[in-house]
Amino acid sequence: MAEIRRIGILTSGGDCAGLNAALRAVVYRAVDGYGWEVVGIHQGTAGLLARPVDAEVLEKSQFTGMLLRTAGTILGTTNKGDPFDYPLADGSRIDRSEEVIDGYRQLGLDALIGIGGDGSLDILRRLAVQGGLNLVGIPKTIDNDLGHTEVSIGYATAVNVATDALDHLQPTAASHSRVMVLEVMGRDAGHIALSAGIAGGADVILIPEIPYQIAHVAAKIDALKQQGRNFALVMVAEAVKREDGEPVMHTQASGAVTYGGIGHYISERISEITGAETRITVLGHVQRGGMPTPRDRLMASVFGVHAVDLVARGAFDRMVAWTGRQVVDVPLADAVAGYRAVEPEGALVRTARGLGISFGDR
Amino acid sequence: MAEIRRIGILTSGGDCAGLNAALRAVVYRAVDGYGWEVVGIHQGTAGLLARPVDAEVLEKSQFTGMLLRTAGTILGTTNKGDPFDYPLADGSRIDRSEEVIDGYRQLGLDALIGIGGDGSLDILRRLAVQGGLNLVGIPKTIDNDLGHTEVSIGYATAVNVATDALDHLQPTAASHSRVMVLEVMGRDAGHIALSAGIAGGADVILIPEIPYQIAHVAAKIDALKQQGRNFALVMVAEAVKREDGEPVMHTQASGAVTYGGIGHYISERISEITGAETRITVLGHVQRGGMPTPRDRLMASVFGVHAVDLVARGAFDRMVAWTGRQVVDVPLADAVAGYRAVEPEGALVRTARGLGISFGDR
Amino acid sequence: MAEIRRIGILTSGGDCAGLNAALRAVVYRAVDGYGWEVVGIHQGTAGLLARPVDAEVLEKSQFTGMLLRTAGTILGTTNKGDPFDYPLADGSRIDRSEEVIDGYRQLGLDALIGIGGDGSLDILRRLAVQGGLNLVGIPKTIDNDLGHTEVSIGYATAVNVATDALDHLQPTAASHSRVMVLEVMGRDAGHIALSAGIAGGADVILIPEIPYQIAHVAAKIDALKQQGRNFALVMVAEAVKREDGEPVMHTQASGAVTYGGIGHYISERISEITGAETRITVLGHVQRGGMPTPRDRLMASVFGVHAVDLVARGAFDRMVAWTGRQVVDVPLADAVAGYRAVEPEGALVRTARGLGISFGDR
Amino acid sequence: MAEIRRIGILTSGGDCAGLNAALRAVVYRAVDGYGWEVVGIHQGTAGLLARPVDAEVLEKSQFTGMLLRTAGTILGTTNKGDPFDYPLADGSRIDRSEEVIDGYRQLGLDALIGIGGDGSLDILRRLAVQGGLNLVGIPKTIDNDLGHTEVSIGYATAVNVATDALDHLQPTAASHSRVMVLEVMGRDAGHIALSAGIAGGADVILIPEIPYQIAHVAAKIDALKQQGRNFALVMVAEAVKREDGEPVMHTQASGAVTYGGIGHYISERISEITGAETRITVLGHVQRGGMPTPRDRLMASVFGVHAVDLVARGAFDRMVAWTGRQVVDVPLADAVAGYRAVEPEGALVRTARGLGISFGDR
């Protein structure tokens, strides 16, 4: 096993809260625990594609103050530019993976810690296999859809922000006798909508894992009215489709047609059927940037320290993970293959049904 | 001066944070200070139109716990149904003002405290004049566009929520090298956008009081890029129009055309001109429902106590107000006529310009 | 198995955030799912000792608004008055357990759900065994020292409040070049201090599970100074003893001697040895009353629904628990016996050491 | 009027939230608006006493990210070491004012902006008069006791933190039927206790401006109990004395006698007289370090820009101020002489009395 002297770190994919806490943990552990140098690579793999390579040596002193408490990533990140399928200006695509691997060599790295979700970690893993890079992964995704770990960085804060939005909407819904529809992030999975919906007192939760009929949603809202409730809270994951399974089309002010806006669709349909006054809120990017919750900071710290320890032990091609109150590590190949959707019969869905929350399926 | 034994209170117009604190102050002062009974009228003037009249006696014990800290209004409110121009199902409109006045009589009220913005207080005042009702007003508007008072209930919390959104957007903007556009409330005036924009570190603030050209906005964003900044924050008040002065048209998923969405328009235009990656967030109704800030609770308490004292002194047809660290009261007629826009040469605009913030006008 | 028609619920021991969310879940599930009546017993077992029994039927409508989001318990609670060893005014103690059991009978309860920590649940269990009561337990403790469940209600919020305090202390510590000592709750275990210490960027964490020497603490602070740091953050669990193992004695203004105040002791000792300017903050009861975090509300909801389902299945003498992303249930006897301290070699302590945090033991 | 090319800035006295926002505004305005260089002096006047002088040139780029949102001051500050009466190690005191003035000269400053409270600004003013320095002041004090300005930096955030503490204490007080005593900052004046007490729902507010008798406090608590309330919230400013006018003596664990701890005294006395279960919380330094509220950031921005504009106009020996929605400036001599206590007959005290809050004076 080659001696480690200098490691790289990068953040990849969509940003979230807790990334800076993970960077801090990596730097503290590598510098103080092992005496290594840590090179922060800018903009994910784009920093390794740039010439000269776009990177900086990270110092402990950078992390003394507020960074632990600050969302985002000081390294920058991107969710564009897969180096195996890199888009050129003319619309064609080429394989630039060797350039990335060469960037790693140019930096003189002995290992690389990559922080990303399933997509980013899969790309990093393929690069590592191809180039013989020493890679350790740290899981990060606000969507919480990575299997093999109970916790991914960013999810806890995203749930907090979404719950906070419901907390804001409840009083105004009740004051004006309205149905409030809240669309939250969740590209494929409904975890944020489900957890924040329960925690925030939603009456209806629509997630991609459970097909719905708008008639059932309307029936729930009518039933609440029968019981004397003058308002309702409806949580919708952005990945939900129209009732007919089609994505929602959206005409921009410019005339362009885009997709998205399921919340508007649900809001309009509820209004049509029930006659209720509805209002839609699309939470958007504020979900990424909240001050990281203590849990996200704690888990990011656990992952950062453990990832460095894996590098020290030469345990590469692995991802750190959290399960059953323990930090563990799993093969990266398993990690990126282990997608986890919401379980339609799982504990949280059963809890939601037990509270009378409708998923629009019955 | 007739003896007071029983007063009514209602909230009218859009809801906001601090209304329950005002209700609490009115009840505490009226019950403990004067031994009166306080009747809470539901849904603004709609409660006085209903038969039987829709109202309840308010007790001190209802306000012991969390209501001081809870947004919205336990009485409910509405910003529809002007009794002088009441919309019927067939689309026609009639004058139902006498029914409202009759509702006041049926409740046996000796006076009425109305909490509202300029529109609501104007309607209440016309009812009071017509029916000889004893009316005192309390100012409330998240838009802060009421003259004759330095403070209106709800504004401080709305500024907090909008600033908090910028605080969330900044780290993700910087992580992804994006221009973030935030559209905030402000039906006619730009006060929220201006104050929250300064407090939250916006680079551009667009408000209806200052005409803009999108080219100036784009130039500011390009200039920031020249200086090495990889992101920008753009704050837009919802009342802002297109560059040509027209409102923004918006095609719904259903095919219906609605107006609104200036934020999307600004976001697309910036992207077109600068090539920057932009993202839009429309804050929406979460601005109304935040936990009331200490300042909103404090001022609501001041106003509630003083409004009751005005009733006790028989000083009707007046609105309570705050100016120069003092609670005062002004004629309601003056209050509702005294609209206050952002002053284009005022202290806050000058501060913003001093910080290099662009209003898009030069 | 007897038919269930009417169940009781009580909260016992110190209050915390999330109790009202658990009550809400129990009422929603029992009323809507099974058609039962739910009786809320006031002040823990004290409500069953009172004559007439002090209790009220709980309705769904009580929980519509803010209670989900409100700390504390609307039923009240107490951590005094063990009915098996009940203190009388003259200082003597008697066994009043039969009166409590009789109170349960007077209410006509078919089962009882008790929310408490290890002490409270142990008392309830002995009452249940003695009286043949049908008991299900829900775990609650800000100290997180209950084994057999990964989650207890109230802990997540307590960690948030403690972390928030460190977030407040860091800037003022750095501005004034001070050592800030923060004493947090944790009667026997150091979980809050450990998790919040990591999440909040503490430099030293003192917990009862790891014996410390003040000289090591001082050495850490001196080392930070050598590295150019002008401030330090020291987290202390209230259960920590003096270096010599004795509790800290404290002379009150009245002349009375009380115990407690380890934070003051640590603060003074650090100042003596290092000459640093220290300041002490004792967080106290604000730790119990924060707005419950989404996680505490979510878990309280899971536990409440599952506890009712256990009653429906006749699965008594059990406590609901959370482990490995699943809600489960365990024998109450095991639950109350399964105390969990911080593991000195566990993942979190190793993470803290990896970050350079000192426990004062080396 | 000499041309300005290089100005200094320092923060002095106790730190608070909003100082970094003021520094940012000064740097943005001076650099972009006038092309000056801004020198940040470390640790208040101590930086001018150090040799070499302890200071750094401030760049705009330092303020791009989180500093606007971060409490404390990146320059550091101190509330010790009056240069006119400088304490030596042997306990004697000497006048080092000429050294400070010489430090200003060594930095080649054309003007100095000082941010401080009445004490700090008075010292700076005397230095300016003696040395012929060009000084402009910015008001800062969490105590809000500076006359001639309606707003000082730091006060709004301190009120928020104190109110937040009451919000945390209310649910636990009600759950356990306790009297919660909260001691908040306020060295001489009771503004924080008064405003936060009203906003947070206190039942008793004790401030130094209104003499109290503990018997009146106890009577209020008994009266609440008579009305069916099972808890009470008591707010105490740290500047309050014992009933007999003496400061509270406090015996440390080390045996040393210190003064302070009025909250403990009040808590014990209430318990003695009423028999109520009381708990005391001393909020301490967390009050200084909260994330600055939008209002503190806004006002700090206004003050920073205006202070630079005053320098540009050669309007020295003045302090910026806010009054009646306008930024103004006043002679520094007037500013530091204009102490403002709580007015015992002012609007806020009358509001508090109107809500039934007791000041312990009747």
Tens-digit pLDDT profile for residues D159-208: 999 999 999 999 999 999 999 999 999 888 999 999 999 999 999 999 99
CB pair distance less than 8 Å for C72 and D288:
no
pLDDT in tens, C38-50: 999 999 999 999 9
Q: What does the pLDDT read at residue C258?
A: 56
**Amino acid present at D110:** D
Residue D210, class by beta-carbon neighbours within 10 Å (0-12 exposed, 13-18 middle, 19+ buried)?
A: middle
Tell me: pLDDT of C315 over 90.
yes
Q: Are residues B255 and B315 in the same domain?
A: no
Contact B217, B358 (CB under 8 A): yes
Q: What does the pLDDT read at residue A1?
A: 58
Percent of chain C, pLDDT > 90? 89
Report how far apart, in Å, the C-alpha atoms of A346 and of each of A226, C23, C325, C326 are: 30, 22, 9, 8
**Residues C164, C178: Cα–Cα separation, whole Å:** 18
Provide the domain limits for residue C249.
Answer: 158-287+343-354
Q: List chain C residues with CB under 8 Å of B65.
A: 70
**Residues A70, A51: Cα–Cα separation, whole Å:** 30
Give me the tens of pLDDT residue by residue for chain A, a chain 362 residues long. Answer: 579 999 999 999 999 999 999 999 999 999 999 999 999 999 999 999 999 999 999 999 999 878 999 999 999 998 888 999 999 999 999 999 999 999 999 999 999 999 999 999 999 999 999 999 999 999 999 999 999 999 999 999 999 999 999 999 999 999 999 999 999 998 889 999 999 999 999 999 999 999 999 999 999 999 999 999 999 999 999 999 999 888 886 555 555 555 568 999 999 999 999 999 999 999 889 988 889 999 999 999 999 999 999 999 999 999 999 998 999 999 999 999 989 999 999 999 999 999 999 999 99
Q: What does the pLDDT read at residue C215?
A: 97
Q: What does the pLDDT read at residue B253?
A: 52
Q: Is residue A336 part of a domain?
A: no
Q: Is residue A1 part of a domain?
A: no
Q: List chain C residues with CB under 8 Å of A150.
A: 324-325
Contact D108, D94 (CB under 8 A): no
Percent of chain B, pLDDT > 70? 96
**Residues B179, B234: Cα–Cα separation, whole Å:** 7
Q: Count CB neighbours of D242 within 10 A.
A: 15
Q: Hey, what are B219's tokens?
A: 């130039």
Would an 8 Å CB–CB cutoff place C326 in contact with chain D?
no
Q: Are residues D125 and D261 in the same domain?
A: no
Tell me: pLDDT of D253 over 80.
no
Collapsed DSSP state (helix, strand, coil) of residue B156: helix
**Alpha-carbon torsion B190, B196, B202, B203, what sign?**
positive
Residue range D320-329: mean pLDDT, rounded: 95
Q: Are residues C107 and C169 in the same domain?
A: no
Q: What is the CATH number of the domain that holds A204?
A: 3.40.50.460
The stretches of chain D forming alpha helices (DSSP H) are 19-28, 34, 46-49, 97-106, 118-131, 155-176, 191-199, 214-226, 262-274, 294-313, 332-337, 347-354
Q: Is residue D281 part of a domain?
A: yes
Secondary structure, 3-state, chain C? CCCCCEEEEEECCCCCCCHHHHHHHHHHHHHHHHCCEEEEECCCCHHHHCCCCCEEECCHHHHCCCHHHCCCCCCCCCCCCCHHHEECCCCCEECCHHHHHHHHHHCCCCEEEEEECHHHHHHHHHHHHHHCCCEEEEEECCCCCECCCCCCECHHHHHHHHHHHHHHHHHHHHHHCCEEEEEECCCCCCHHHHHHHHHCCCCEEECCCCCCCHHHHHHHHHHHHHCCCCCEEEEEECCCCCCCCCCCEEECCCCCEEECCHHHHHHHHHHHHHCCCEEEEECHHHHCCCCCCHHHHHHHHHHHHHHHHHHHHCCCCEEEEEECCEEEEEEHHHHHHCECCCCCCCHHHHHHHHCCCECCCC
Q: What does the pLDDT read at residue A260?
A: 62
Would an 8 Å CB–CB cutoff place C66 in contact with chain B?
yes
Q: Hey, what are A240's tokens?
A: 């939900």
CB pair distance less than 8 Å for A15 and B175:
yes
**Residues A12, A135: Cα–Cα separation, whole Å:** 14
Tell me: pLDDT of C60 over 90.
yes
Residue B339, class by beta-carbon neighbours within 10 Å (0-12 exposed, 13-18 middle, 19+ buried)?
A: exposed
* A51 φ/ψ angles, rounded to the nearest 5 degrees: -135, 115
Q: Are residues D265 and D121 in the same domain?
A: no
Residue range B111-134: mean pLDDT, rounded: 97
CB pair distance less than 8 Å for C25 and A351:
yes
**Residues B269, C184: Cα–Cα separation, whole Å:** 52
Residue range D246-274: mean pLDDT, rounded: 77
Q: Which residue of chain B has the CA closest to D172?
A: B65
Q: List chain B residues with CB under 8 Å of A253.
A: 248-250, 261, 264-265, 268
Q: What does the pLDDT read at residue C255?
A: 55
Residue D65's pLDDT band (cuts 50, 70, 90)? confident
Q: What does the pLDDT read at residue D247?
A: 83
Q: Is residue D55 part of a domain?
A: yes
Q: Are residues A245 and A200 in the same domain?
A: yes
How high is the mean pLDDT of chain D? Answer: 94
Residue C257's pLDDT band (cuts 50, 70, 90)? low
Tell me: pLDDT of B257 over 80.
no
pLDDT in tens, B288-304: 888 999 999 999 999 99
Tell me: pLDDT of D285 over 60.
yes
Residue range C261-273: mean pLDDT, rounded: 94
Q: What does the pLDDT read at residue B66?
A: 86
**Residues D113, D300: Cα–Cα separation, whole Å:** 13
Q: Is residue A331 part of a domain?
A: no
Tell me: pLDDT of C94 over 70.
yes
pLDDT in tens, C153-170: 999 999 999 999 999 999
Q: Are residues C51 and C139 in the same domain?
A: yes
Q: Which residue of chain A has the CA closest to D69?
A: A66
Q: Are residues C23 and C171 in the same domain?
A: no
Tell me: pLDDT of D257 over 60.
no
Residue range D231-254: mean pLDDT, rounded: 84
Residues 272-301 of C with CB under 8 A from D: 272, 279-291
Q: For A91-141, list the strands marked E by DSSP.
A: 93-94, 111-116, 135-139
**C80 CB-side CA count, 13 A:** 6
Q: Are residues B53 and B126 in the same domain?
A: yes
Residues 6+ apart with CB under 8 A from A303: A22, A25, A138, A139, A153, A320, A322, A327
Angle formed at CA A350 by CA A344 and CA A352, multiple of 5 degrees: 105
CB pair distance less than 8 Å for C65 and A229:
no
Percent of chain D, pLDDT > 90? 88
Q: Are residues D217 and D350 in the same domain?
A: yes
Q: Is residue D330 part of a domain?
A: no
Q: Which of C82, C143, C145, C296 is flagged as catalytic?
A: C143
Q: Which of D82, D118, D143, D329 is flagged as catalytic?
A: D143
**Residues D213, D362: Cα–Cα separation, whole Å:** 8
Q: Are residues D248 and D146 in the same domain?
A: no
A153, A195, A302: best mutation site toward chain C, by most C Cβ within 10 Å? A302
Tell me: pLDDT of D256 over 90.
no
Assembly ipTM? 0.95
Q: Which residues sit opposite C180 in a β-bridge?
A: C233, C279
* Alpha carbon of A262: minimum distance to chain B alpha carbons (Å): 9
Q: How many domains does chain D have?
A: 2
B143 catalytic? Reply is: yes
More confident residue, D2 or B252: D2
Would an 8 Å CB–CB cutoff place D132 in contact with chain B?
no
Strand-pair category, D204-206 with D232-237: parallel
Contact A170, A233 (CB under 8 A): yes
Tell me: pLDDT of D209 over 80.
yes
Q: What does the pLDDT read at residue D85?
A: 96
Residue D273, class by beta-carbon neighbours within 10 Å (0-12 exposed, 13-18 middle, 19+ buried)?
A: middle
Q: Are residues D131 and D170 in the same domain?
A: no
Strand-pair category, B318-323 with D135-139: unpaired
Q: Are residues A14 and A148 in the same domain?
A: yes
Q: Is residue C1 part of a domain?
A: no
Q: Which residue of chain A has the CA closest to D65?
A: A70
Q: What does the pLDDT read at residue C260?
A: 62
Contact A115, A135 (CB under 8 A): no
Residues 23-62 of D with CB under 8 A from C: 43
Q: What does the pLDDT read at residue A81?
A: 87
Contact A153, A137 (CB under 8 A): no
Q: What does the pLDDT read at residue C151?
A: 94
Q: Is residue A184 part of a domain?
A: yes
Q: What does the pLDDT read at residue A40?
A: 98
Q: List chain C residues with CB under 8 Å of A195.
A: 294, 298
**Residues B214, B266: Cα–Cα separation, whole Å:** 8
More confident residue, A354 or C64: A354
Residues 212-271 of B with CB under 8 A from D: 227-229
How high is the mean pLDDT of chain B? Answer: 94
Q: What does the pLDDT read at residue C188?
A: 85
Q: What does the pLDDT read at residue D254?
A: 53
